[in-house]
Amino acid sequence: MADFDDILADFEFLDDWDDRYKYLIDLGRALDPYPENRRDDAHKVKGCASQLWLDAELKDGRLAMRGDSDAHIVKGLVALMIALYSGKSPGEILAIDAQKALAPLDLTAHLTPQRSNGVASMIARIRAVADASDPTGASDPSGA
């Protein structure tokens, strides 16, 4: 899986949004297979027009995430969220300003409102999992 900073650099290199969409699709294709037994309502992300599943497991104080979607671009967005959040502690995840981190990609200007809602729903789900897993209880109630 590509590092988030590498993805940012690759996006900067790609001038055309058709190429950026293809890159997102490639990121999604590179995801590890998602377990069939996790394709259930408990792991389904609500608020996305596509079928989208996401789960995380706390391992050695860090959240390991995985996800999948039935839509190619959304699956690429799942890969993007995994690159941004996976492998971090719950406290580190809660400290991430997702809007600021994603701003250089200019996704909101190039995604449909439904896909933008899906990104927001993924971020909310990841933050909720991190909050529930945060042993310090020092979560940010603002959801920022």
Q: Looking up tokens 């058709």, which residue turns up?
A: 18
Q: Of the listed 48, 84, 111, 130, which one is catalytic?
A: 48
Strand partners for 42: none
Active site residue 48: yes
Detail the DSSP E strand segments found in 19-91. Answer: 52-59, 62-69
| Contact yes or no for 79/30 (Cβ under 8 A) | yes
Q: Six-digit token pair at 65?
A: 């995430």
Q: What angle do CA 62, 67, 69 make, to 5 degrees?
A: 165
| Contact yes or no for 69/28 (Cβ under 8 A) | yes
What residues act catalytically? 48
